[in-house]
Structure 1
Amino acid sequence: MPESVTAAVTVEHDFAASPDAVWVALSDPVSARDALPCCDALAPADGRTLPSGSLSRLLASDEEARDARVVAEGEEYDATLTASVRGVETTLAGTLTVTEHDYPRMALEGIVRGDAADARMAAALTVEEAGTDERCHVTWTARADVEGALATYGRRPVESAAARSANAFFDALDAHLAAVAGPESERAVKDPDWRP
Protein backbone atom coordinates (compact mmCIF):
# COMPACT_ATOMS: atom_id res chain seq x y z
CA MET A 1 0.00 0.00 0.00
CA PRO A 2 1.22 3.51 -0.73
CA GLU A 3 2.51 5.77 2.02
CA SER A 4 1.29 8.79 0.08
CA VAL A 5 -1.44 9.43 -2.47
CA THR A 6 -2.46 12.33 -4.64
CA ALA A 7 -6.22 12.84 -4.56
CA ALA A 8 -8.16 15.07 -6.94
CA VAL A 9 -11.85 15.91 -6.56
CA THR A 10 -14.36 18.03 -8.47
CA VAL A 11 -17.76 18.74 -6.94
CA GLU A 12 -20.51 20.80 -8.57
CA HIS A 13 -23.60 22.25 -6.91
CA ASP A 14 -26.59 24.24 -8.11
CA PHE A 15 -27.74 26.85 -5.60
CA ALA A 16 -31.26 28.26 -5.45
CA ALA A 17 -29.85 31.67 -4.55
CA SER A 18 -28.32 34.62 -6.36
CA PRO A 19 -24.65 34.46 -7.33
CA ASP A 20 -23.97 37.48 -5.08
CA ALA A 21 -25.52 35.82 -2.01
CA VAL A 22 -23.66 32.56 -2.69
CA TRP A 23 -20.37 34.42 -3.17
CA VAL A 24 -20.79 36.22 0.17
CA ALA A 25 -21.70 32.95 1.95
CA LEU A 26 -18.72 31.11 0.43
CA SER A 27 -16.43 34.02 1.34
CA ASP A 28 -17.61 34.14 4.96
CA PRO A 29 -15.39 32.06 7.26
CA VAL A 30 -18.15 31.93 9.91
CA SER A 31 -20.65 30.44 7.45
CA ALA A 32 -17.98 28.08 6.09
CA ARG A 33 -17.08 26.87 9.57
CA ASP A 34 -20.72 26.34 10.49
CA ALA A 35 -21.67 24.54 7.26
CA LEU A 36 -18.63 22.28 6.83
CA PRO A 37 -19.36 19.09 8.81
CA CYS A 38 -15.70 18.16 9.28
CA CYS A 39 -14.61 21.65 10.43
CA ASP A 40 -14.06 21.90 14.18
CA ALA A 41 -12.48 25.38 14.12
CA LEU A 42 -11.67 28.11 11.60
CA ALA A 43 -10.26 31.46 12.69
CA PRO A 44 -7.95 34.15 11.34
CA ALA A 45 -4.32 33.19 11.96
CA ASP A 46 -3.49 36.77 12.97
CA GLY A 47 -5.71 36.41 16.04
CA ARG A 48 -8.27 39.02 15.05
CA THR A 49 -11.85 38.38 16.03
CA LEU A 50 -14.36 38.19 13.22
CA PRO A 51 -17.45 40.40 13.55
CA SER A 52 -20.36 38.35 14.84
CA GLY A 53 -23.82 38.06 13.35
CA SER A 54 -25.75 35.72 11.18
CA LEU A 55 -25.51 35.18 7.45
CA SER A 56 -28.79 37.06 6.99
CA ARG A 57 -27.30 40.11 8.71
CA LEU A 58 -24.14 39.82 6.64
CA LEU A 59 -26.14 39.67 3.40
CA ALA A 60 -28.16 42.72 4.47
CA SER A 61 -25.11 44.74 5.54
CA ASP A 62 -23.21 47.34 3.56
CA GLU A 63 -19.99 46.63 1.68
CA GLU A 64 -17.75 47.87 4.50
CA ALA A 65 -19.35 45.51 7.03
CA ARG A 66 -19.08 42.61 4.59
CA ASP A 67 -15.42 43.34 3.89
CA ALA A 68 -14.67 43.23 7.63
CA ARG A 69 -15.88 39.63 7.81
CA VAL A 70 -15.28 37.91 4.46
CA VAL A 71 -11.93 36.50 3.42
CA ALA A 72 -9.41 38.52 1.45
CA GLU A 73 -6.57 37.45 -0.78
CA GLY A 74 -3.42 36.73 1.23
CA GLU A 75 -5.20 36.09 4.53
CA GLU A 76 -4.37 32.99 6.54
CA TYR A 77 -6.78 30.97 8.68
CA ASP A 78 -6.02 28.38 11.34
CA ALA A 79 -8.20 25.33 10.80
CA THR A 80 -8.95 22.16 12.70
CA LEU A 81 -10.65 19.44 10.67
CA THR A 82 -11.75 15.88 11.34
CA ALA A 83 -11.12 13.47 8.48
CA SER A 84 -12.47 9.96 8.24
CA VAL A 85 -11.51 7.37 5.65
CA ARG A 86 -12.80 3.80 5.97
CA GLY A 87 -13.46 4.20 9.67
CA VAL A 88 -10.06 5.71 10.49
CA GLU A 89 -10.69 9.15 11.95
CA THR A 90 -8.03 11.75 12.55
CA THR A 91 -7.96 15.36 13.63
CA LEU A 92 -5.93 17.59 11.34
CA ALA A 93 -4.72 21.06 12.25
CA GLY A 94 -3.03 23.57 10.00
CA THR A 95 -3.18 26.83 8.12
CA LEU A 96 -5.19 27.70 5.02
CA THR A 97 -4.14 30.64 2.85
CA VAL A 98 -6.52 32.51 0.54
CA THR A 99 -4.44 32.74 -2.65
CA GLU A 100 -7.15 34.29 -4.82
CA HIS A 101 -10.41 36.07 -4.01
CA ASP A 102 -11.80 37.86 -7.02
CA TYR A 103 -15.42 37.22 -7.99
CA PRO A 104 -16.28 34.71 -9.43
CA ARG A 105 -13.16 32.73 -8.40
CA MET A 106 -11.61 31.88 -5.04
CA ALA A 107 -8.57 29.70 -4.35
CA LEU A 108 -7.02 28.29 -1.17
CA GLU A 109 -3.84 26.44 -0.30
CA GLY A 110 -3.03 24.71 2.93
CA ILE A 111 -0.99 22.28 4.94
CA VAL A 112 -2.66 20.23 7.66
CA ARG A 113 -1.11 17.66 9.99
CA GLY A 114 -2.51 15.02 12.28
CA ASP A 115 -1.71 11.73 13.94
CA ALA A 116 -2.99 9.58 11.02
CA ALA A 117 -2.30 11.89 8.07
CA ASP A 118 -0.51 14.94 6.74
CA ALA A 119 -1.80 16.75 3.68
CA ARG A 120 -0.81 19.58 1.40
CA MET A 121 -3.80 20.83 -0.58
CA ALA A 122 -4.95 23.36 -3.11
CA ALA A 123 -8.57 24.12 -3.95
CA ALA A 124 -10.46 26.53 -6.17
CA LEU A 125 -14.10 27.35 -6.70
CA THR A 126 -16.01 29.34 -9.27
CA VAL A 127 -19.52 30.78 -9.14
CA GLU A 128 -21.49 31.01 -12.39
CA GLU A 129 -24.96 32.36 -13.13
CA ALA A 130 -27.42 29.60 -13.95
CA GLY A 131 -29.89 31.23 -16.31
CA THR A 132 -31.63 33.51 -13.79
CA ASP A 133 -30.63 36.07 -11.19
CA GLU A 134 -31.80 33.77 -8.40
CA ARG A 135 -29.82 30.63 -9.26
CA CYS A 136 -26.15 29.85 -9.68
CA HIS A 137 -23.77 26.97 -10.24
CA VAL A 138 -20.61 26.40 -8.18
CA THR A 139 -17.71 24.20 -9.25
CA TRP A 140 -15.15 23.23 -6.61
CA THR A 141 -11.91 21.46 -7.50
CA ALA A 142 -9.30 20.26 -5.04
CA ARG A 143 -6.03 18.38 -5.13
CA ALA A 144 -4.25 17.03 -2.09
CA ASP A 145 -1.06 15.11 -1.45
CA VAL A 146 -1.90 12.91 1.53
CA GLU A 147 0.61 10.96 3.62
CA GLY A 148 0.23 8.69 6.62
CA ALA A 149 -2.31 6.06 7.68
CA LEU A 150 -5.15 7.53 5.63
CA ALA A 151 -3.02 7.27 2.49
CA THR A 152 -2.59 3.52 2.93
CA TYR A 153 -6.21 3.04 1.86
CA GLY A 154 -5.43 4.51 -1.55
CA ARG A 155 -6.63 7.41 -3.62
CA ARG A 156 -10.29 6.47 -4.12
CA PRO A 157 -11.38 6.35 -0.47
CA VAL A 158 -9.61 9.68 0.20
CA GLU A 159 -11.34 11.27 -2.80
CA SER A 160 -14.69 9.80 -1.74
CA ALA A 161 -14.36 11.25 1.78
CA ALA A 162 -13.43 14.68 0.38
CA ALA A 163 -16.35 14.64 -2.07
CA ARG A 164 -18.81 13.64 0.70
CA SER A 165 -17.62 16.51 2.88
CA ALA A 166 -17.85 19.02 0.01
CA ASN A 167 -21.35 17.87 -0.94
CA ALA A 168 -22.50 18.07 2.69
CA PHE A 169 -20.99 21.57 2.94
CA PHE A 170 -22.78 22.81 -0.19
CA ASP A 171 -26.08 21.23 0.91
CA ALA A 172 -25.85 22.89 4.36
CA LEU A 173 -24.93 26.26 2.86
CA ASP A 174 -27.78 25.99 0.34
CA ALA A 175 -30.25 25.23 3.17
CA HIS A 176 -28.98 28.21 5.15
CA LEU A 177 -29.34 30.51 2.16
CA ALA A 178 -32.86 29.18 1.56
CA ALA A 179 -33.75 29.91 5.19
CA VAL A 180 -32.42 33.46 4.88
CA ALA A 181 -34.63 34.04 1.83
CA GLY A 182 -37.59 32.12 3.24
CA PRO A 183 -40.67 33.23 5.13
CA GLU A 184 -40.18 35.09 8.43
CA SER A 185 -41.18 32.08 10.55
CA GLU A 186 -38.58 29.88 8.84
CA ARG A 187 -35.87 32.52 9.18
CA ALA A 188 -36.62 33.02 12.86
CA VAL A 189 -36.31 29.30 13.54
CA LYS A 190 -33.20 28.60 11.45
CA ASP A 191 -31.41 31.90 12.07
CA PRO A 192 -31.44 32.80 15.77
CA ASP A 193 -29.72 36.13 15.13
CA TRP A 194 -32.33 37.26 12.63
CA ARG A 195 -34.55 40.17 13.65
CA PRO A 196 -37.43 41.62 11.63
Structure 2
Amino acid sequence: MEFSDTFEIADTTREEAWLALSDPVMIKEALPGCQFLVRVDDEDVDFDELREQVSDDDPPTLPEADTEEIAERAFEEGAHYAALMEIGVGSVKPSFETVVTITEREFGHMSAEGEGEASNSSFELEAGMQLEETENGVAVDWQAQTDVFGRVAQMGQRVINPVANRVVNRFFGNIEDQLRDVETDDSSGITDKIRDML
Protein backbone atom coordinates (compact mmCIF):
# COMPACT_ATOMS: atom_id res chain seq x y z
CA MET A 1 0.00 0.00 0.00
CA GLU A 2 1.18 3.49 -0.79
CA PHE A 3 0.26 6.67 1.04
CA SER A 4 1.29 10.26 0.33
CA ASP A 5 0.03 13.71 1.18
CA THR A 6 1.06 17.25 2.04
CA PHE A 7 0.34 18.69 5.46
CA GLU A 8 0.53 22.45 6.01
CA ILE A 9 1.85 23.66 9.37
CA ALA A 10 0.85 27.30 9.68
CA ASP A 11 2.80 30.12 11.31
CA THR A 12 6.07 28.27 11.79
CA THR A 13 9.49 28.21 10.18
CA ARG A 14 11.21 25.37 8.37
CA GLU A 15 13.81 25.26 11.16
CA GLU A 16 11.18 24.92 13.91
CA ALA A 17 9.27 22.24 12.01
CA TRP A 18 12.52 20.36 11.34
CA LEU A 19 13.50 20.46 15.01
CA ALA A 20 10.06 19.21 16.07
CA LEU A 21 9.96 16.39 13.51
CA SER A 22 13.52 15.36 14.43
CA ASP A 23 12.71 15.02 18.15
CA PRO A 24 11.86 11.43 19.21
CA VAL A 25 10.15 12.74 22.35
CA MET A 26 7.84 15.06 20.42
CA ILE A 27 7.13 12.35 17.85
CA LYS A 28 6.17 9.93 20.63
CA GLU A 29 3.85 12.49 22.22
CA ALA A 30 2.24 13.45 18.90
CA LEU A 31 1.80 9.95 17.46
CA PRO A 32 -1.54 8.40 18.49
CA GLY A 33 -1.09 5.05 20.21
CA CYS A 34 2.69 5.36 20.67
CA GLN A 35 3.58 3.98 24.11
CA PHE A 36 7.30 4.64 23.79
CA LEU A 37 9.94 5.58 21.21
CA VAL A 38 13.57 5.13 22.21
CA ARG A 39 16.95 4.76 20.55
CA VAL A 40 18.38 1.23 20.61
CA ASP A 41 21.80 -0.20 19.75
CA ASP A 42 20.65 -2.51 16.97
CA GLU A 43 17.60 -4.02 15.30
CA ASP A 44 17.47 -7.02 17.65
CA VAL A 45 15.34 -5.60 20.47
CA ASP A 46 14.06 -7.23 23.67
CA PHE A 47 10.72 -5.43 24.02
CA ASP A 48 9.91 -7.03 27.39
CA GLU A 49 13.12 -5.56 28.79
CA LEU A 50 12.42 -2.20 27.14
CA ARG A 51 8.94 -2.02 28.70
CA GLU A 52 10.53 -2.27 32.15
CA GLN A 53 13.27 0.28 31.42
CA VAL A 54 11.27 3.01 29.72
CA SER A 55 10.24 5.88 31.97
CA ASP A 56 6.76 7.40 31.86
CA ASP A 57 8.29 10.83 32.45
CA ASP A 58 9.30 12.35 29.13
CA PRO A 59 11.72 15.28 29.01
CA PRO A 60 10.22 18.61 27.88
CA THR A 61 9.68 19.44 24.21
CA LEU A 62 9.21 22.76 22.43
CA PRO A 63 8.56 25.41 23.61
CA GLU A 64 9.88 24.51 27.10
CA ALA A 65 12.90 22.47 26.03
CA ASP A 66 16.20 24.04 25.12
CA THR A 67 16.91 23.71 21.39
CA GLU A 68 20.38 22.29 22.09
CA GLU A 69 18.88 19.50 24.25
CA ILE A 70 16.50 18.58 21.44
CA ALA A 71 19.33 18.65 18.88
CA GLU A 72 21.36 16.23 21.06
CA ARG A 73 18.56 13.65 21.19
CA ALA A 74 17.41 14.20 17.58
CA PHE A 75 17.10 11.32 15.14
CA GLU A 76 20.42 10.34 13.57
CA GLU A 77 21.08 8.82 10.17
CA GLY A 78 21.85 5.12 10.53
CA ALA A 79 20.47 4.92 14.08
CA HIS A 80 17.79 2.45 15.19
CA TYR A 81 14.69 3.30 17.24
CA ALA A 82 12.21 1.00 18.97
CA ALA A 83 8.56 1.91 19.41
CA LEU A 84 5.50 0.22 20.84
CA MET A 85 2.49 1.23 18.75
CA GLU A 86 -1.10 0.44 19.76
CA ILE A 87 -3.43 1.00 16.82
CA GLY A 88 -7.10 0.11 16.59
CA VAL A 89 -7.93 -1.43 13.20
CA GLY A 90 -11.52 -2.53 12.85
CA SER A 91 -12.37 -4.81 15.76
CA VAL A 92 -8.75 -5.46 16.78
CA LYS A 93 -6.23 -3.28 18.62
CA PRO A 94 -2.80 -4.85 18.10
CA SER A 95 0.33 -3.59 19.88
CA PHE A 96 3.06 -3.49 17.26
CA GLU A 97 6.63 -3.94 18.47
CA THR A 98 8.35 -1.75 15.91
CA VAL A 99 11.98 -1.09 14.98
CA VAL A 100 12.79 1.80 12.64
CA THR A 101 16.12 2.80 11.07
CA ILE A 102 16.74 6.36 9.88
CA THR A 103 18.15 5.82 6.39
CA GLU A 104 18.65 9.49 5.41
CA ARG A 105 18.62 12.71 7.40
CA GLU A 106 19.68 16.06 6.03
CA PHE A 107 18.07 19.39 6.88
CA GLY A 108 14.61 19.45 5.34
CA HIS A 109 14.59 15.77 4.34
CA MET A 110 14.37 12.52 6.29
CA SER A 111 13.59 8.92 5.35
CA ALA A 112 13.27 5.72 7.35
CA GLU A 113 12.50 2.05 7.03
CA GLY A 114 11.21 -0.38 9.59
CA GLU A 115 9.04 -3.28 10.52
CA GLY A 116 6.60 -4.12 13.27
CA GLU A 117 5.09 -7.27 14.73
CA ALA A 118 2.01 -7.97 16.80
CA SER A 119 0.13 -11.18 17.49
CA ASN A 120 -1.10 -12.48 14.13
CA SER A 121 -0.07 -9.31 12.23
CA SER A 122 3.06 -7.59 10.96
CA PHE A 123 4.12 -4.81 8.62
CA GLU A 124 7.12 -3.47 6.71
CA LEU A 125 7.48 0.24 6.03
CA GLU A 126 9.51 2.73 4.01
CA ALA A 127 8.71 6.40 4.58
CA GLY A 128 10.08 9.83 3.84
CA MET A 129 9.31 13.51 4.24
CA GLN A 130 10.47 16.83 2.82
CA LEU A 131 9.87 20.29 4.29
CA GLU A 132 9.20 23.29 2.08
CA GLU A 133 8.73 26.88 3.24
CA THR A 134 5.40 28.41 2.16
CA GLU A 135 3.77 31.83 2.43
CA ASN A 136 1.88 30.80 5.57
CA GLY A 137 4.32 28.39 7.19
CA VAL A 138 5.74 25.02 6.18
CA ALA A 139 4.50 22.25 3.88
CA VAL A 140 5.42 18.72 4.90
CA ASP A 141 5.37 16.42 1.85
CA TRP A 142 5.34 12.86 3.14
CA GLN A 143 5.08 9.45 1.54
CA ALA A 144 5.02 5.90 2.84
CA GLN A 145 4.99 2.45 1.32
CA THR A 146 3.78 -0.36 3.56
CA ASP A 147 3.27 -4.08 3.27
CA VAL A 148 0.85 -5.48 5.85
CA PHE A 149 0.55 -9.17 6.70
CA GLY A 150 -1.67 -11.40 8.82
CA ARG A 151 -4.97 -10.58 10.47
CA VAL A 152 -4.83 -6.83 9.84
CA ALA A 153 -4.04 -7.40 6.14
CA GLN A 154 -7.15 -9.58 5.82
CA MET A 155 -9.30 -6.55 6.66
CA GLY A 156 -8.30 -4.92 3.37
CA GLN A 157 -7.51 -1.39 2.29
CA ARG A 158 -11.06 -0.14 2.84
CA VAL A 159 -10.54 -0.65 6.58
CA ILE A 160 -6.81 0.12 6.80
CA ASN A 161 -6.71 3.36 4.75
CA PRO A 162 -9.13 5.39 6.93
CA VAL A 163 -7.23 4.29 10.06
CA ALA A 164 -3.87 5.28 8.53
CA ASN A 165 -5.24 8.66 7.40
CA ARG A 166 -6.74 9.32 10.84
CA VAL A 167 -3.44 8.53 12.59
CA VAL A 168 -1.43 10.74 10.19
CA ASN A 169 -3.85 13.68 10.44
CA ARG A 170 -3.92 13.52 14.24
CA PHE A 171 -0.12 13.27 14.31
CA PHE A 172 0.46 16.37 12.18
CA GLY A 173 -2.33 18.21 14.01
CA ASN A 174 -0.59 17.48 17.32
CA ILE A 175 2.75 18.67 15.91
CA GLU A 176 1.09 21.88 14.72
CA ASP A 177 -0.44 22.41 18.18
CA GLN A 178 2.97 21.98 19.80
CA LEU A 179 4.57 24.46 17.42
CA ARG A 180 1.74 26.93 17.97
CA ASP A 181 2.77 27.00 21.64
CA VAL A 182 6.12 28.50 20.66
CA GLU A 183 5.59 32.14 21.59
CA THR A 184 5.77 34.56 18.68
CA ASP A 185 8.28 36.63 20.63
CA ASP A 186 10.55 33.61 21.01
CA SER A 187 10.11 32.27 17.49
CA SER A 188 12.83 34.28 15.77
CA GLY A 189 15.26 33.51 18.60
CA ILE A 190 14.56 29.78 18.38
CA THR A 191 14.89 29.88 14.59
CA ASP A 192 18.25 31.67 14.84
CA LYS A 193 19.52 29.12 17.39
CA ILE A 194 18.48 26.23 15.16
CA ARG A 195 20.13 27.83 12.11
CA ASP A 196 23.36 28.14 14.10
CA MET A 197 23.26 24.40 14.85
CA LEU A 198 22.63 23.29 11.24
Question: Where in structure 2 are the equivalents of 1:14-163 lying within 5 Å?
Answer: 14-16=8-10, 17-46=12-41, 52-58=59-65, 60-62=66-68, 65-131=69-135, 135-163=137-165
Query: Quick check: 15-24 or 78-87, which moved more?
Result: 78-87
Question: Where in structure 2 are the equivalents of 1:154-193 lying within 5 Å?
Answer: 154-181=156-183
Structure 1: runs of 5 or more not aligned: 1-6, 185-196
Q: Distance in 2 between matches of 1:123 and 1:42?
A: 17
Identity %: 27
Deviations 1:75-109 (A, max 9, x none): 10011101222222111002111111112111111
Q: Distance in 2 between matches of 1:11 and 1:167?
A: 10
With the length of structure 2 as denominator, give the TM-score of the two structures. 0.79
Deviations 1:47-87 (A, max 9, x none): 8x9x93322244x534xx44311101011001110122222
Q: Distance in 1 between matches of 2:156 and 2:31?
A: 24
Structure 2: runs of 5 or more not aligned: 42-49, 187-198
Count of aligned residue pairs for this structure pair? 173
With the length of structure 1 as denominator, give the TM-score of the two structures. 0.80
Q: Distance in 1 between matches of 2:147 and 2:90?
A: 18
1:8/1:159 contact within 8 Å kept: no
Shift of 1:182: 5.7
